[in-house]
Amino acid sequence: MRVLLTGSAGFIGSHVAEALRARGHEVRGLDLLPGGEVGDVRDRDAVARCVRGVDAVCHQAAMVGLGVDVFDLPAYTSVNVAGTAVLLAEMARAGVHRLVLASSMVVYGEGAYTCRSHGDVRPGPRTEDDLRAGRFEPPCPECGSPLEPGVVGEDTALDPRNVYADTKVAQEHLAASWARMTGGRVAALRYHNVYGPRMPLDTPYAGVAALFRSRLERGEAPLVYEDGRQRRDFVHVRDVARANVLALERLEVAQDARLRAFNIASGNPRSIADMAEALAAVHGGPAPQVTGGYRLGDVRHIVASPERARQELGYEAEVPFAGGIAEFAKATVGTGR
């Protein structure tokens, strides 16, 4: 099929482009960087040119990362929300009805938790007083007792905790509205912590794996926030690219829902300290330092099941953690996003 790929020159987008072409699909790229049609997803004329005549759209273009401060709000909403709205409108105008949307696990906020007394609960944002005092685990919102973290499914209520998460929720809502109005189909792929070759370094908007490697490249110890025991699911970029191809190829499978969300994860969660230690060991750099520092927009644990993606898309992560980290420690990196 002919696929418009936004963000085609970026970290994840460039891998998606390779995976699509390897499957015999024709890729038309749109990106601010060279590598396809050079253009902005917010530019209606550029999007209209690129979407004309394609069979499907794979939307990767976005401003990523947690955000530095409140002054990032206009940029995130402009690129992620307004840009997605322009794309959806031009897809409708061109009669394109298939969309794979790059979403994120950040839409969930905190992960799933269970209280011994109150069962399944959703703790609110952690307070700065608690974080400053080193109380990193969120307490039960009913009784204040310690909680047992669990696994998030796609039907969990969304609870964004930072501006990037807000814009990802907005993208999903816009895509769902587009689907209802046009009869289109959307696969919203909620990526977990993606890492791998071409990941951009030396930017405050980078993911934690890139921040660790940036310090190792300078001969400095990776700095681990909180106590390092916060849990994430690190998924290799080639597995994420393959998930995009599977979603595009299977979107015509009949579904009651016009938008279907999928967790794209490895299914084997690790702590942040595990990632830092593994990367430092392979890179040969200094051992990580656990700082006790924190960021207010961070969540403590977010681990999700990829079972729906396995059953409905045929997706399973193939790159093992040890092998993926060994490759990433020495791989070529990106410069922008």
3-state secondary structure 95-123: CCCEEEEEEEHHHHCCCCEEECCCEEECC
Report whether 328 contacts 195 (CB < 8 A). yes
- CB atoms under 10 Å from CB of 52, counted, come to 14
Active-site hit among 76, 108, 113, 164: 164
C-alpha distances out from residue 158 to 165, 168, 297, 322, Å: 10, 10, 15, 31
Report whether 182 contacts 92 (CB < 8 A). yes
Quick one: which of 266, 268, 267 has its CA closest to 237? 266
**Which residues, listed in sequence order, are joined to residue 262 by a DSSP beta bridge?**
189
Nearest-angstrom CA–CA distance, 245 and 294? 36
Q: Which two tokens stand for residue 75?
A: 């940029």
113 noted as active-site residue: no
Burial class (CB in 10 A: 0-12, 13-18, 19+), 144: exposed
Report whether 223 contacts 215 (CB < 8 A). yes
User: What torsion, rounded to 10 degrees, do the Cα atoms 97, 59, 47, 171 define?
Assistant: 80
Q: Which residues are catalytically annotated?
A: 164
